[in-house]
Amino acid sequence: MPSQPAKALETFTNPAPHRDYQIHMEVPEFSCLCPKTGQPDFAVLTLDYVPDKHCVELKSLKLYIWSFRDEGHFHEDVTNRILDDLVKATKPRFMRLTARFYVRGGIFTNVVAEHRKKDWQPTPRVDLAEFPGQSNTRG
């Protein structure tokens, strides 16, 4: 049976809850409808999070994102709604959702929404010195 869009987000147990680590996901084919005109809106979603006890399962995330295709949403609304649903499902230490919407009316819109668990502080990032002949490709 073919997959269908769904609002349910499934999780699995974080395999390394003893440390902070970042999960980075890109969703290049997000779509919903403009609530004013009914025209399609397209965006690239970027999800970055530091899990606590649970991680989001990818197939359920795909079906969840697909569920917005025929719904009308303002960019700000849909970005915050998706973040709220992901936070509710996974209860992460930190989560950031960036939605980069394609041009509408000559305007590109980027919406960035964040969640930080109370009292959580990120571990300091370690930048290792470059060795001769190597380039630092991290951004």
| Residues with active-site annotation | 34, 41
Residue 92: name the closest of 67, 65, 122 by CA. 122
Q: How far apart are CA 9 and CA 132, in angstroms?
A: 46
DSSP string across 20-62: ---EEEEEEEEEEE-TTT--EEEEEEEEEEE-SSEEE-HHHHH
Q: Which amino acid is at 92?
A: P
Q: Which amino acid is at 111?
A: V
**Region for 91 from its dihedrals, namely left if φ exceeds 0, alpha if ψ lies in -120 to 50, beta otherwise:** left
